[in-house]
Chains A and B, each alone.
Chain A
Amino acid sequence: MKKFDVIIIGSGVVGSSIAYHLSEYKEHEILLIDKDFPLSGTSGSTQAWVWVHTKVPSWYGELSLYSAELYPILEKKIGDVEYNRTGGIAPFFNEAEREKAYRLAEKQAEVGIDIKVLTKDEVLEMEPYLSSKIAGATFSKLDGTVNPFRLVELYVKAARKNGVKTSYYNRVLDIVKSGNGYQVKTERGTFLTTKLILAGGPWSKDLGELLGVHIPIKQVRGQIIITEPLQPFLKYTIGGIRQTVNGEVLIGYSKEEVGYDRRTTLDVIQQTAKMAIDFIPALAEANIVRTFAGIRVMPLDELPILGQIPGLPGAFIAAMHSGITLSPIVGTLMAELLTEGETSLDITRYSLSRF
């Protein structure tokens, strides 16, 4: 039976990032398993924002900030992931929300997140295609986007270069405690490992059940519209809307609990289109070329679940909603935890034991 130091289950953005960061220590025999292939699940069906400024409470905003700050460094190591710090605009539609915006700016300033609260005129000057119905917006230079396909591919490529073994199209059937470690039974044989990381995204719940652990996450479907390529007209990443480098506009707001059903429905697509037109009236003229849906992870309190699984030595979890934003910092911290036994940032707030 093949033996590893670490088995990571899930080769999405989170699992692949952990594999890469852990492989940088060159101390572990690592196996990365996926039931399908990288990007077949949540990481391949996202709008791929690296979004910081509205993340609350502020200590969660701070984690997102650190992660965004790691992106330029990450690119130097693994290659161009098309990280683009566009700046982010979160519009609000009535004056009552301005007060809330100021409170957000004040709170986030404490952790170093710089937010401007803009008047309607200021927003429209920055982003002229936004609807004149908006009352204002919060703005931060820290927000941006990334190409998720390049990101995950380059994580995996760099990890492999460092000796990480991968096993794709290989579903994990059972996990059994065995001596000091775990036996991972898969469709393609059984592997032994000392340490185990669950990074299955929305499927982490099922993986937890194999270990007899309840992972308190929901599966949330998000439906996304892609327009035809349009001339560049949106400069910033706007709540729910971004224009990609090749001109397509990605639009998505919906959240539905429908299990693993990844189809799109016309009801939600039509609502999404209407909302987009409320934000940017000119989009009414754009043709939709494609729609898709992804199943996202939503921890019950919406905050990441990170670290050791209580009561199961050697077993770890990394499950979060904003995997794209957080993958650089989560990979870094999990690699520290598994190698050195402690992390450079305190992650006890994110422990599974809080539930």
Chain B
Amino acid sequence: MKTDVLVVGAGPAGIKAALTADRAGADVILIDESVFLGGQLRSQTQYFSNLPKNIDSGLGIEIYNELENQLNNSNITVFTNHTMVGSFKNGNIGVSNGEKVLEIQSKKNILAPGAQEEALIFPGWTLPGVMTAGAAQILVNREFVRPGNEAIMVGSNIFALEVALLLQQCGVSVKAIIEEQLNIQCKDTSKLGEIGNIPIFTSSRIKAARGRGKVEQVIIETPNGENELYVDLICVANGFRPILEPFEILNCEFTYKKGLGGWIPKYDNRFLTGNPNCYVAGNAAGITDLGPILLTGEIAAWNALGEIGLVSSIVVDKKIKNLWVELSRLEDEYVFKERLNLINNTSAIKY
């Protein structure tokens, strides 16, 4: 199977990259290992406003619906339930639905596998009832299952607070938010107002979870001593880290950038990795917010289009310049600085 652009991962970054390439006239194949498109975005009911110019603010699911709408009106070939399982010696990529392996020969690949949540390890962390905040969100928004009745949230970043609010909205009593650091991590003051009366314990951590076959009790250590709470749900929002396997398969180089989520593939200002046929987009290029995620997909796609020769370099350069300006405007200052830092150190990649 031949194509101009293969996009791996149909979250917001992958979809945006695919749409951008499709509109410029490229043949595009978009694959995702899930039976659903949209990655986590389609399970998100929080409101996003800090978005690129051409995208309206809205709930995550609304933004996804609009992207899906655009996908349906495109010529993109979409394979859901297909996982990238390896590469052939000639560089072609193998994707499989568990039955058959399709060999895809593409001129350029855009890898947008996203990120995975970091677990937190404490005595009792494997008991049923301990889950990541993202898992709780999927249970509620996609599966319509309430994950528990009485919960605590570990972590106080914006995602932790959003999921805590979501749990409250569907009748879960959130008894505490536990933050290891001195201060609450979420910088959005309006979110803090919304969580209202949930007690927040800073400089605190989980000592252990206990229960027979499931979580029944949690012990937290606070500066004022130990606290025992009776809960059946412990949500952990311990941050995200980029998914690296596809980049390993394709022989990309890696580097460590704490501010971008730890180990990530090296890339330059075109989002081109150490493999000259592979671009990176989305959270895999550094953990960030929805607006920047969408922009990185677009930047990667324009550069791929330029390299293939479907768009002139003058147009590409202009597009990219504008997109980078927008990225600098939308992205968290520290994350953007780390990104620039990575790119400046990466110009030395030899092709």
Chain A residues with a Cβ under 8 A of chain B: 263-267, 269-270, 287, 291
Contacts and interface: CB of A to CB of B under 8 A. Distances in A.
A45 B249 CA distance: 17
Interface string B241-281: 00000001101000000000000000000000000000000
Contact of A270 (B101, B248, B249): B101
A265 B249 CA distance: 8
Nearest to B85: A266
A45 B124 CA distance: 32
Contacts of B94: 266
Contacts of B213: none
B8 to A, nearest CB: 15
Given A269-B86, A291-B86, A263 B249 contact: yes
B111 to A, nearest CB: 15
Contacts of B89: 265, 267
Interface in B50-109: 85-89, 94, 98, 101, 103
A266 B98 contact: no
Interface of B: 85-89, 94, 98, 101, 103, 248-249, 251
A265 B251 contact: no
A266 B248 contact: no
B106 to A, nearest CB: 15
A263 B88 contact: no
A291 B245 CA distance: 12
A263 B251 CA distance: 8
Contacts of B88: 265-267
Contacts of B98: 287
B299 to A, nearest CB: 28
Nearest to B94: A266
A291 B88 CA distance: 14
A263 B248 contact: yes
Contacts of A266: 85-88, 94, 101, 103
Contacts of B87: 265-266
Nearest to B249: A263
Contacts of A264: 86
A264 B88 CA distance: 9
Given A263-B251, A265-B88, A266-B101, 13 more contacts: A263-B249, A264-B86, A265-B86, A265-B87, A266-B85, A266-B86, A266-B87, A266-B94, A266-B103, A267-B88, A267-B89, A270-B101, A287-B98
Most B CB atoms within 10 A — which of A264, A265, A266?
Answer: A266
A274 B175 CA distance: 56
Nearest to A288: B85
Contacts of A263: 248-249, 251
Contacts of B101: 266, 270
A264 B249 CA distance: 8
Most A CB atoms within 10 A — which of B86, B94, B248, B249?
Answer: B86
